[in-house]
Amino acid sequence: MNEPRGDLRPPSLNADEPTTLLAFLRYLRDAVVAKASGVPDEAARAPGVPSGTSLLGLVKHLTRTELNWFVWAYEGADVPLLDDGEPPLPGETAADIVAGYRAAAARSDAIAAACPDLDRPGARSLRETPPPSMRWLLVHMIEETARHAGHADILRERLDGSVGR
């Protein structure tokens, strides 16, 4: 789980839009992984709030969100939509779940990198709307990942008092 990370510095003030959006999304993904790292598996899968949310549940949710939006909706790959209600399964380790998230993020990054124009719409939508543009999708994933990174901050602090990135 503690694999070497890429360059996570914020993009320069003069970076182009795709570089800026992807850099912030990667930074937030890393924050989520950092919060799920170094926690014993049982603690990471244990609900930290009455709704049942756990650190590993958040990572699985973000994995499904990446795959459903980038792969199924934007790319239009003929893959089944992933159910968002499934908690970590017995036998799934934190390392497995984080590796799955990293793989989904890498696939999402490849799809985004192959997009020649941020205005280009995807193949279909997960909502009752026309397919969104790559720009919309990147901003949506930044919002989604940032929101859940905040949840992960709180869950981790409740588990062991760890605060900060």
Structure confidence by residue, pLDDT tens digits, 119-157: 999 999 999 999 999 999 999 999 999 999 999 999 999
Rg (CA), the chain: 16
In a domain, 144, yes or no: yes
In a domain, 8, yes or no: no
Q: What percent of the chain clears pLDDT 70, i.e. is strictly above it? A: 92
| Domain, as residue range, for 38 | 17-160
pLDDT tens, 26-56? 999 999 999 999 999 999 999 999 888 999 9
* Domain count within the chain: 1
Instruction: Supply the pLDDT for residue 89.
Output: 87
Q: What is the CATH number of the domain that holds 100?
A: 1.20.120.450
For the whole model, what pTM was predicted? 0.91
In a domain, 1, yes or no: no
CA atoms within 13 A on the CB side of 114: 11
Instruction: Supply the pLDDT for residue 123.
Output: 97
Instruction: Supply the pLDDT for residue 1.
Output: 43
Q: Tell me, letter by letter, the H, E, C secondary structure of 55-84.
A: HHHHHHHHHHHHHHHHHHHHHCCCCCCCCC
**Average pLDDT of span 49-68:** 94
**Average pLDDT of span 63-89:** 91
In a domain, 143, yes or no: yes
In a domain, 77, yes or no: yes
In a domain, 130, yes or no: yes
In a domain, 29, yes or no: yes
Q: What is the C-alpha to C-alpha distance for residues 17 and 22, in angstroms, rounded to an integer? A: 9
In a domain, 75, yes or no: yes
